[in-house]
């Protein structure tokens, strides 16, 4: 049973079908799908591709691959890294076979993974020099079977590799269509962090959920009672006007990214949308167009520059913006 579930839901991304890249980011930074592509898409050697990210402290590991097959996609290179780092966490490993799989580990961090069709002494010495390492190992491929390595990897970590080819906006539109999904299902969907990532919204939802369950329990025997219908209606109205009172977050995010991307030299370094507050940090040569276009977008009651500092090495400015979303007007018919 366990094997069949793995075959159905888990895919291993071979080293030869991926391109690996690593960089260092601030521990507090976690890219969403949009900012990930905005900042790193130019690195991909593929025309059409997906990015599989993994955070290891301040190290951001990225795999670019032309195809994603399942909802859980684990790079072969990462499974090899887990196995090989137990042997030596400062070394180069060459897995022999029809092609050579190369794994580079330095200071306990995966630094490189790639394949090679030729691995003589000259190539090995070049790798040692390039990565400033002293140890290199040649290992037979039969010792590192994919199924065995996957069995050694705890299933509780699978969620770190979860992938969906639907955008958050597509999911939200699909599930929030009342003609397709019953209202009770929508309540459950709002639990998902993919739709409600803000702690305030989550806490408020849980509070209203308990109130709703209490009302429902009291009226289970009188479902046709008009009073029960009225209370249920009032619950959903309160949820809507207290929680969904702000502008559509997907549209706001899309508009901000579009404004920043108008200048190819702009780079988003930090983005947070929480309740009615937005915080944005951008590396840019000109902060004013972003400010003006955001104010003209119609989404904000206020949007301003909080601070600006010059990054002399990069010859660019890091500008921090903050803003307040407009509230939607409550309809007069209730």
Mean pLDDT is lowest, of 175-179, 245-249, 297-301, for 175-179
**Beta partners for 106?**
109
Q: What are phi and psi of 200, to 5 degrees?
A: -60, -45
SS (H, E, C) 43-91: HCCCCCCEEEEEEECCEEEEEEECCCCCCEEEEHHHHHHHHHCCCCCCE
Average pLDDT (269-285) is 87
More confident residue, 284 or 147: 284
| pLDDT value of residue 193 | 38
How far, in whole angstroms, is CA 330 from its chain's centroid? 33
Identify which of 12-16, 35-39, 141-145, 229-233 has the greatest average pLDDT. 12-16
Q: β-strands 91-95, 136-139: how paired?
A: parallel
| pLDDT value of residue 224 | 59
pLDDT tens column, 53-87? 988 888 999 999 998 877 788 899 999 999 999 99
| pLDDT value of residue 171 | 45
Domains and CATH numbers, the chain: 2-161 (no CATH), 168-243 (no CATH), 249-325 (3.30.1360.100)
pLDDT tens column, 183-205? 334 334 433 433 444 455 556 66
More confident residue, 219 or 145: 145
Q: What are phi and psi of 222, to 5 degrees?
A: -130, 55
E strands of the chain, at which residues?
A: 10-13, 19-24, 50-56, 59-65, 72-75, 91-95, 100-106, 109-116, 136-139, 267-274, 277-284, 300-311, 316-325
Residue 247 has pLDDT above 70, yes or no: no
| pLDDT value of residue 155 | 67
Average pLDDT (141-153) is 83
pLDDT tens column, 293-326? 999 988 888 999 999 999 888 889 999 999 998 8
How far, in whole angstroms, is CA 323 from its chain's centroid? 23
| pLDDT value of residue 149 | 85
Q: How far apart are CA 138 and CA 334, in angstroms?
A: 72
| pLDDT value of residue 217 | 66
| pLDDT value of residue 313 | 87
The reported pTM is 0.49
| pLDDT value of residue 333 | 44
| pLDDT value of residue 194 | 39
Mean pLDDT of the chain: 78
Residue 164 has pLDDT above 70, yes or no: no
More confident residue, 170 or 218: 218
Q: How far apart are CA 63 and CA 49, in angstroms?
A: 10
Q: pLDDT over 90 for what percent of the chain?
A: 35
| pLDDT value of residue 306 | 92
């Amino acid at each position: 049973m366990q094997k069949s579930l793995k075959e159905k839901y888990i895919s291993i991304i071979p080293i030869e079908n991926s391109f690996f890249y690593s960089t260092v980011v601030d521990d507090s930074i976690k890219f969403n799908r949009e900012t990930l592509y905005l900042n790193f898409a130019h690195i991909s050697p593929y025309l059409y591709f997906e990015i599989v990210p993994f955070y290891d402290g301040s190290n951001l590991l990225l795999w670019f691959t032309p195809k994603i097959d399942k909802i859980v996609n684990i790079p072969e290179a990462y499974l090899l890294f887990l196995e090989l780092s137990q042997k030596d966490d400062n070394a180069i490993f060459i897995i022999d076979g029809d092609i050579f799989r190369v794994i580079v580990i330095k200071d306990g961090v995966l630094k490189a993974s790639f394949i090679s069709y030729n691995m003589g002494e000259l190539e090995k010495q070049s790798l040692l020099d390039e990565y400033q390492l002293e140890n290199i190992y040649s290992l037979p491929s039969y010792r590192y079977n994919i199924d065995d390595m996957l069995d050694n990897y705890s299933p509780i970590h699978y969620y770190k590799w979860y992938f969906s080819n639907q955008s958050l906006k597509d999911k939200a539109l699909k599930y929030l269509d009342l003609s397709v999904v019953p209202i009770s299902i929508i309540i459950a969907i709002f639990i998902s962090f993919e739709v409600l990532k803000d702690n305030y919204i989550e806490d408020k939802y849980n509070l209203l959920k308990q109130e709703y369950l209490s009302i429902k329990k009291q009226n289970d025997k009188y479902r046709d009672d008009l009073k029960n219908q009225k209370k249920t209606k009032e619950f959903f109205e309160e949820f809507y006007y207290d929680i969904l009172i702000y502008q559509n977050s997907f549209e706001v995010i899309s508009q901000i990214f579009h404004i920043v991307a108008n200048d190819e030299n702009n780079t988003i370094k930090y983005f947070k949308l929480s309740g009615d507050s937005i915080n944005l940090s951008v590396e840019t040569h000109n902060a004013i167009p972003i400010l003006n276009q955001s104010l003209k977008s119609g989404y904000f009651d206020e949007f301003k520059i909080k601070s600006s500092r010059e990054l002399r090495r990069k010859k660019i400015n890091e500008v921090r913006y903050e803003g307040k979303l407009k509230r939607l007007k409550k309809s007069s018919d209730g």
